[in-house]
Amino acid sequence: MTTAANSAAPSGVNAINLNYLEHVMEMSKTHVVSASEDIFDDAGTLLWAKGKRIDSRLQEKLIVRKLQRPLEVSLVVESGVTMESILALVQGIGTSNPTIFAIARKHLSAAINSFAAASLCQPACLLLTTLQNSRPHVFAHSVEVALLSASLAIQIGLPPESVEHLIIGGLLHDVGELYINPDYLDQKRSLTPSEWKHIAAHPRISQLILESLTDYPKPIARAIAEHHERFDGSGYPRGIAGNNMSRCGQILSMAEMLSGILHNRSYPIVRATLAVKLIPGEFPAELINAIGEMRRASSAPPQEAAGFAAAAVPELIQKTRVVGMALSGSINECRLIQLQANKTPQPAKDLLAQIENRLLQLQKALSAIGLGDCFTSDYLDAQSSDNYEETYLELDVVVCEISWRLRDIARDLALKLEDFDEQAKSVFLPLATSLLVNQDQAEPCRPKQEQANAEASAPLRPLNSDDTLEVGAFSLPAQKVPHENARLH
């Protein structure tokens, strides 16, 4: 059984995070939140007595003080999230999310047993209740990640202890978002690179929270820190690769991506199956094979067999051309920058090599799955004259994923350019322009049953030159940094 007890936090972590405090105070309006122990400031002054329900008076005191012990270990919430309440959600996953259920179905019974064996300590219950109250969609996503992680771990034969570790890691991997300015988490908001850095720090924040506030085994915190890393080194925040990632971190990383794709998407299982194997090496082959086995052992939800709507074909063809131009144009811009090598310092050359390698990987990925020619005019014209539903569906999925990868590369480029001088930035300007495609290109076309009832959508377009991506005082054409949470609709 995975257990954890409260532990004293390291020195320096007891300053109050005002974003987290605001979430707790908001929760206290609908939940009974009280002190589980006397709360003292760092000078030894009693601020709040044990058992007393918190209110705005405590908030006023905490804003200007540090505490002897972290607030998270000093509060308890009644009728909050428990492992029992989470277990009930997992048991009802077939109704709440049939797609997740379809993937996890093979090992659902064993996963439920593992959930029952795991336990949540008091700070974890408080954090998850706060997350459920403030960001319910993220809480639901966390439960799904925990279930998918457990199912993957069972599929590849990990021991029960590791399965329990992944359940706790999946549930708590995004609690770091509670400590970030909520304005940055608004999916409708475009982010500057400096703002995105706050978002990119949330795996590390979540790791520190676990290490500071609980006695959970260290592999759980490490896996949480790695949940946005990728096996090929293309992830964040550290860009680690291969066996530098823990096995639990590799599983949590794949489960996190799968949840974002499987939740409320058109053709979610088809898309997820293609997405995890699109880029060779992005995820371990063992896990890709595990997903394939789990999919084959389950029946796809009805919408997976809906077919591709004929009315969406013109939209798909236009989207394919736009994304194809962005990919080929970006590769060409990399080669043009190489011709200016005498104007670029070595760090800029290294960055260019990284970007070009990722773009070439996308190009190779298309060829590897037989769609290497899908961006050519001859291919598109040939397909537009016939009704190849299966081809259109696969093409739609691949184009959406290519678009997301281009946006990821654009985001990473914008962040790294902050460390360069203006001359080096100007060299990368055409590449940054070429990389960014309109958000609409990353959205799948509607399946038949949606298309039949949908209003005519606005035509897709490439980005205009007057859209801007801000990088400090330097302005790049196109939009600002793509929002990570945009995948979680």
pLDDT in tens, 172-222: 999 999 999 999 998 778 788 888 889 999 999 999 999 999 999 999 999
Q: Is 3 part of any domain?
A: no
**Domain boundary residue, one of 54, 77, 100:** 77
Residue 412, pLDDT > 80, answer: yes
Clarify whether residues 37 and 153 are in a common domain: no
Q: Is 55 part of any domain?
A: yes
In the chain, the number of structural domains is 3
CA 290 remoteness from chain centre: 21
Residue 444, pLDDT > 70, answer: no
Output the pLDDT for position 455: 35
Clarify whether residues 46 and 108 are in a common domain: no
pTM of the full structure: 0.84
Please, which pLDDT band fits residue 302 given cuts at 50, 70 and 90? very low
Clarify whether residues 329 and 412 are in a common domain: yes
CA distance 93 to 263: 12
Please, which pLDDT band fits residue 475 given cuts at 50, 70 and 90? very low
Look up the CATH number of the domain holding residue 155: 1.10.3210.10
Tens digits of per-residue pLDDT, 29-68?
Answer: 999 999 999 999 999 999 999 999 999 999 999 998 899 9
Clarify whether residues 319 and 424 are in a common domain: yes
Residue among 171, 172, 180 nearest 200 (CA): 180
Clarify whether residues 324 and 420 are in a common domain: yes
CB 265 within 8 A of CB 397: no
Structure tokens at 245: 């990632």
Please, which pLDDT band fits residue 470 given cuts at 50, 70 and 90? very low
Clarify whether residues 167 and 259 are in a common domain: yes
The boundaries of the domain holding residue 30 are 18-77
Output the pLDDT for position 459: 32
Clarify whether residues 154 and 255 are in a common domain: yes
CA distance 118 to 205: 23
Clarify whether residues 63 and 98 are in a common domain: no
Please, which pLDDT band fits residue 457 given cuts at 50, 70 and 90? very low
Mean pLDDT of the chain: 82
Q: Is 336 part of any domain?
A: yes
Which residues, 6 or more positions from 5, have their beta carbon under 8 angstroms from its beta carbon?
121, 214, 215
Clarify whether residues 91 and 63 are in a common domain: no
Q: Is 409 part of any domain?
A: yes
Output the pLDDT for position 261: 87
Tens digits of per-residue pLDDT, 145-157?
Answer: 999 999 999 999 9
Looking from the CA of 297 toward its CB, the CA atoms found within 13 Å total 15
Residue 403, pLDDT > 70, answer: yes
Q: Is 226 part of any domain?
A: yes
Residues 412-431, mean pLDDT to the nearest whole number = 86
Least confident of 36-45, 97-106, 109-118, 468-477: 468-477
Clarify whether residues 421 and 295 are in a common domain: no
Clarify whether residues 296 and 440 are in a common domain: no
CA distance 137 to 467: 30
Q: Is 6 part of any domain?
A: no
Q: Is 2 part of any domain?
A: no
**Domain boundary residue, one of 283, 303, 323:** 303
Before 444, cis peptide (omega within 30)? no
Clarify whether residues 143 and 265 are in a common domain: yes
Tens digits of per-residue pLDDT, 68-83?
Answer: 999 999 999 999 999 9
Residue 465, pLDDT > 50, answer: no
Residue 464, pLDDT > 50, answer: no
Most confident of 114-118, 231-235, 275-279, 407-411: 114-118
User: Within 239-300, where are the H helices?
Assistant: 247-262, 268-278, 285-296
Q: Is 11 part of any domain?
A: no
**Domain boundary residue, one of 303, 319, 351:** 303
Output the pLDDT for position 296: 85
Residue among 249, 252, 254, 229 nearest 241 (CA): 229
Output the pLDDT for position 485: 52
Residue 18, pLDDT > 80, answer: yes
Residue among 52, 212, 27 nearest 128 (CA): 27
